[in-house]
Amino acid sequence: MNDKTILQDFKDGKAYALKSLFDQYGKRVYGMVYGYFKSKEESEETVQDVFLKLWRYKDNINVEQGVEAYLFRITKNEILNRIRKQKLVTVDIDGTGGEVVSLTETPEDIIDFKMKMEVVAEIIKELPDKAKAVFMKKRMECKTNKEIAEEMGISVKTVENHMTRASSLIKKRLSEEQIIVFMIFWCTNNFF
């Protein structure tokens, strides 16, 4: 059965199609969510909520365009909603597990945050074309190195090299505080 048939059956309310979509995308959604919360329980609960919302809003899916972009937009929004509710987020800059940072919402903080996001967006725009393309697919679309390699017709090692180069260039240009902002929101594409 092809994807369009499954999507149409999903829109028609057939339960097997939900299971099929979950089997196809569940691990990627979980990986994206776990990247933020670093908690199995929180991630599993969020994934359930994402697929419940996908079911609830199934009429909004365009069968011709597919479900992937719509699903990951729901995922991104669910992550942001949970972060807003918690007002706390774990930030892992150096791979040691991270620390809890409080997000405040005073007008000054909002302006400061927007300015930092503009800096991050500008740095990403200045990356070399291939490094930028790989970076966007990895961080914004949450694709695996293998998926990126197949899509771009390059080796997995080349994907890794582009990611290393992009990450290195971004880190060189950002202060530690800006890196925290970047790490919190690196799978959101609101600033592009």
H or E element, residue 43: helix 40-56
What's the maximum distance between 2 C-alpha atoms anywhere in the chain?
A: 53
Beta-bridge partner residues of 91: 99
Q: Provide the pLDDT confidence category of residue 179 given band limits of 50, 70 and 90.
A: low
| Token duo for residue 109 | 């903080």
Is domain 3-86 given the CATH code 1.10.1740.10 in the classification?
yes
Alpha carbon 39 to its chain's center: 16
Q: Where are the alpha helices (DSSP H) in 57-88?
A: 68-86
Rounded Cα distance between 104 and 84, Å, is: 10
Q: What is the mean pLDDT of residues 154-176?
A: 84
* Residue 132 Cα distances to 35, 57, 62, 86, 137, angstroms: 21, 32, 28, 32, 9
What beta strand segments (E) does the chain contain? 88-91, 99-102
Task: Kindly tell me the burial class for residue 65, based on how many C-beta atoms sit within 10 Å of its own C-beta (0-12, 13-18, 19 or more).
Answer: exposed
Rounded Cα distance between 76 and 187, Å, is: 7
Q: How many C-beta atoms lie closer than 10 Å to residue 17's C-beta?
A: 20
Q: Is the pLDDT of residue 176 over 70?
A: no
Please enumerate in sequence order all residues whose Cβ is within 8 A of that of 47, keeping only pairs 6 or more positions apart, or say none: 26, 29, 30, 33
168 or 94: which carries more pLDDT confidence? 168
Q: Is the pLDDT of residue 189 over 50?
A: no
Say what the pTM is. Answer: 0.48
**pLDDT given at position 79:** 86
CB 80 within 8 A of CB 188: yes
Q: What is the mean pLDDT of residues 15-38?
A: 88
Where are the domain boundaries for CATH 1.10.1740.10 in the chain?
3-86
Where are the domain boundaries for CATH 1.10.10.10 in the chain?
103-185
Beta-bridge partner residues of 89: 101
Percent helix, strand and coil across the chain, each to the nearest 5: 70, 5, 25
Q: What is the mean pLDDT of residues 25-45?
A: 88
* Residue 104 Cα distances to 87, 112, 117, 125, 151, angstroms: 7, 11, 16, 28, 40
**pLDDT given at position 154:** 95
Task: Domain 103-185: give its CATH code.
Answer: 1.10.10.10
Q: What is the mean pLDDT of residues 76-97?
A: 63
